[in-house]
Structure 1
Amino acid sequence: MKWLLLIVIIVLLLIIAVSFYAANFFLNVALFRDNNWYDKTGHKMMNPDNFNKGKSQYDLTEEQQNQQGDVFWHQAFAQDYWIETDGEKLYSRLIVSHPDSKKWVICVHGYRSYGKRDMAFVASKFSEQQYNILVPDLRAHGKSTGNIIGMGWLDRFDLLKWINEVLTIEPSAEIILFGGSMGAATVMMTSGEALPDNIKGLVVDCGYSSVYDEFGAMLQSAFKLPAFPILTIADSLAKKKVGYSLKEASSVAQLAKNNLPTLFIHGTGDKFVPHQMIYDNMEATNGVKESLIVENAPHLSSFIYEPEHYFDTVFEFVHRYC
């Protein structure tokens, strides 16, 4: 019995040691910009659809959209716009394509991406509807400085600053917040803060319900590891390493304080953010809510799979409620 007890204790200690190592490794690769493991290996594991490109109709559509977005991004009415905060320099692209319009949209990109890549085409579609646009690079992304990735939780404070910048430019602006992936989480997490009346509505595409739930899904799908006890340990370590816990970074908790009209979008083929999270997010919000589910669309690809339906739905929602 003593030998059996000793073996059990040794096994438990090994499990705890391995779990601590895995939790620390996961946090380092997930939440620090200067760790390049994600770019080399992790991205393909977590979001394989981005690496299965060919010459399907969807690949051709994406290529055409990227070309349109690139042309729009470099129009004469677009300019670089910077702010400094907390010792960091944050970048955005300011696109005033309709100087007499009071309609504005702030478009927020996804995890380890940047504004131009995710939002240039979206911005061009909003411009067709007479919107002026601000497209920020989130802290620790794109041209913005910083090393800690905020997963939307820290970024909500920067988004509030960008809202103020728009209001400095146009005090009467009527603003839509549009986000994709981590950008959608940023918008949802910002929705629980005290927002000016200028914010008229939210459009969130494939955002996660919480960082804790998203990382749990990634551990299981990409790493084939159980969320417990690794994520429990990671949650306790995160507060010291990055200044926030994974559980407190919750879209659901923030949406419970939201009364703004919100359109929720998700593709059923999403391997990065499970599409079932849309239902948790929708249930949480208090405002007018509608959804768009795009069958088989991978992560942040709904506007590639059904572009006409996608933008018709977005602008019908915005014009009706916002």
Structure 2
Amino acid sequence: MEPDLIVNRTSNDMHPCYELYDSMYIFTSSPSIICVVLYIFLGSLSLFTVCGNLLVIVSIIYFKQLHIPTNYLILSLAMADLLVGVLVFPFSMAFTVTSCWYHEGLFCKVRGSFDVTLSTASILNLCCISIDRYYAVCQPLTYKSKINDRVTGLMILLSWGVASLIGIGIIIAGFNQGKCENSCLLDALISTTLACIFSFYIPVVIMLSIYLKIYLVAQKQVNSIQNTTFQTTKSRAAVNKTERKATKTLAIVMGVFLLCWTPYFICMVFQPLTHSVTPIAVIETLNWLTLSNSMLNPFIYAFFYSWFRSAFRIILSGKIFQGDFANTKLL
């Protein structure tokens, strides 16, 4: 596809922060109010992402009570999400999809590689957490022997290794955001499909299967308790509350993840097959929706637990600078 044709087809696609100049989109010298508000909002997302994940990292490293295999997986997830907030968010704000979509260069490839690597690492860490939860709920008697520090370390290394290979593959293949030029439809389709399969669809299928199994086992356990416990109104209410809480937790975990990631990857799969360029606003919105998952992960996987909330209160109050609280009993 010729560049001139692309420009002509998208010249009417207005962007609040960019303007068309000499066949290139450049940041406008007089940004509109919408642009200023947009970047303040995106900057706030970056700040919340960094601060939230930094709290998780400091909590797990500092408090000895949190030195368990499950939390090491959460620590790895927080590291990936922190790097998304530090590296990907600013690059995406200063040099958005608009520029890389039309003018692919080394910087765009490196930026895309960071984006793909860290996002994939985040997804794969979520997948590892689901595996950990499966053994904790479905095989509690053998959990400690199967999920130990060594196994957790291997899971973390595998997650980051696969993510790095996919990120490097993006640069080698010259693939960036589903772009197709010089009639490379087949190459773009293959690279897009492979990236989506290994970065999203396979982990999603694994997580959905695992969380479905966890939910079914949890329901079975609740039914067993109902059948063996003296059925007072109070006990039935407690069981129902437990069941609702388990259902709600699993729904939030998968619901937020799928809400953030599915639209983008569906778009990436069908983009090479379309004969028209996807509007800039759509691509940017979907891209930022995926990145926002890195901000939400600390709330879903850490804020949900009372001991993390206790750790956050101690850190935010500044007590860790006033004495040794590493052995503090967290509620």
How does the TM-score come out when normalised to structure 1?
Answer: 0.28
Question: In proportion to residue count, which structure has more strand?
Answer: 1
Q: Flag the structure with larger Rg.
A: 2
